[in-house]
Amino acid sequence: MKNNQEYMDTADQCLLHTYNRYPIILEKGEGVYLYDTQKKQYLDFASGIGVQALGYGNRELNDAVKEQVDRLMHTSNLFYNLPVTRAADRAVKAAGMERVFFTNSGTEAIEGAIKAAKKFAYTRDGHTNHTIIAMENSFHGRSMGALSVTGNSHYQEAFAPLLPGVRFAVFNDLDSVKAQIDETTCAILLETVQGEGGIYPAEPGFLQGVKELCRAHDMLLILDEIQCGMGRCGQMFAWQHYGVKPDIMACAKAIGGGVPVGAFFLTEDVAKQSLAPGDHGSTYGGNPLVGAAVDKVFEIFERDQICEHAKKMGLYLEKTLEALVQEFDCVKGRRGLGLMQGLIMDIPVGDVVKAAQEQGLLVITAGKDVVRMLPPLIIERSHVDEMAVKLKAAIKSCM
């Protein structure tokens, strides 16, 4: 049997080096805790980058997936299947939208959203000379289309030329958005809460203003809720805090409770005038296996009032983090919404993350100076208190 170092060496030799992994081999999870192969316990305030909303080992979800594995995993979209039909029905009702297309990832959800917006404009205008306004400091994925609307040159520079017709405005600056609009603009795309860029929630006036611009100029509003959606911010989708409904919405991460699945949602009007048979597809998207997972996730969310719990725990987490801002001079502030929170620091956040791991706490970074927290939505006050103790020790060790 190989030891831990041998396993990590094998992984480094075989896997494409696109991630700098921490020297931890995680083996199992239970509730809000993860355990490595050395049996060390970690309080998880990262949840697989916002995926494990229901924590680990949820028996009901696990049983639903296991039962579907034994029944039927794949058929292709040439046929109907029951699990994804049930999942779609729950999903569109929860989103308050009318149509959904299931993908394999958030990146693919963004790709579909871009295509839907462009086809909608083409159907309306009869030409393809359309542009999209995206935001600086944004992150939407790493495929060529999603990368094209990601407002960070660091991710883009090696892969030019990218998708043409993308313009960038400043997040939370409505005048900068207005300055990018012309007769070719067909859509505005933004994260309701910027995640990778540093945990920046949209200001209410900005999001409402963008929606008004879309109405005034016959443009579509596309919201990326891949990280901030599915209860993360205390509502099923973060835009519901603002009362600003998108025309197209991308979702992923927590929607499958750990099973890899994404989705993009459309209003009926956009759906009727955009993607038709042959315009878009996916071999695996919406297969029975992920359908069973999504169906069960939405059932649990509704029955157990997960969003309401996340809202309550988010307020307690905010209060706890604000106390850390007051206690440590190196902690400069807090940003976030619900259980999507960030602490701004003037000490190296990478060092803080590693020190937290030594304390048995998993957190991640966002941008250059933010420690990001995306805990499972099932956390309790005791877990927030435990996080604070461990994070304090980590911060002190880095000062």
Residue 62 lies in a domain: no
In a shared domain, residues 27 and 122: no
**For residues 13 and 24, is the Cβ–Cβ distance under 8 A?**
no
What's the domain range around 26?
Answer: 4-57+307-398
Of 256, 278, 303, the last residue of a domain is 303
In a shared domain, residues 298 and 333: no
pLDDT of 224 strictly over 60: yes
**What does the pLDDT average to over 103-124?**
98
In a shared domain, residues 272 and 150: yes
* 291 residue type, one letter: G
Of 303, 333, 360, the last residue of a domain is 303
Structure tokens at 317: 């987490």
**What does the pLDDT average to over 347-354?**
98
pLDDT of 347 strictly over 60: yes
Q: What is the pLDDT of residue 204?
A: 98
In a shared domain, residues 278 and 311: no
Residue for token digits 């993350």? 353
Structure tokens at 118: 């462009």
**For residues 44 and 362, is the Cβ–Cβ distance under 8 A?**
yes
In a shared domain, residues 360 and 293: no
Percent over 90 (pLDDT), the chain: 99
Residue 66 lies in a domain: no
| Greatest pairwise CA separation for the chain in angstroms | 65
In a shared domain, residues 165 and 298: yes
Question: Pick from 231, 232, 207: which is nearest to 221 by CA?
Answer: 207
Residue 133 lies in a domain: yes
For the four alpha carbons of 132, 135, 137 and 140, in that order, the dihedral sign comes to: negative
Cis status of the peptide bond prior to 161, with omega within 30 of 0: yes
Residue 64 lies in a domain: no
In a shared domain, residues 119 and 201: yes
In a shared domain, residues 31 and 82: no
In a shared domain, residues 225 and 237: yes
Encode pLDDT of 131-156 as tens digits.
999 999 999 999 999 999 999 999 99
Encode pLDDT of 293-316 as tens digits.
999 999 999 999 999 999 999 999
Determine how many CB atoms are found less than 10 A away from the CB of residue 326: 8
In a shared domain, residues 119 and 149: yes
Total count of domains within the chain: 2
* 105 residue type, one letter: S
Residue 92 lies in a domain: yes
pTM of the model: 0.97
Residue 104 lies in a domain: yes
Of 265, 281, 303, the last residue of a domain is 303
Encode pLDDT of 5-58 as tens digits.
999 999 999 999 999 999 999 999 999 999 999 999 999 999 999 999 999 999
Encode pLDDT of 254-296 as tens digits.
999 999 999 999 999 999 999 999 999 999 999 999 999 999 9
Residue 65 lies in a domain: no
Question: For position 173, which CATH number holds?
Answer: 3.40.640.10
**What does the pLDDT average to over 224-250?**
98
Question: For position 373, which CATH number holds?
Answer: 3.90.1150.10
In a shared domain, residues 36 and 80: no
How confident is the prediction for the chain on average, in pLDDT?
97
In a shared domain, residues 146 and 246: yes
Parallel, antiparallel or unpaired: strands 370-373 and 220-224: unpaired
Q: What is the pLDDT of residue 2?
A: 76
Q: What is the pLDDT of residue 249?
A: 98
**What does the pLDDT average to over 318-332?**
98
Residue 63 lies in a domain: no
Q: In what order do the strands lie in the sheet with 33-36?
A: 26-30, 33-36, 41-44, 361-362
Q: What is the pLDDT of residue 1?
A: 57
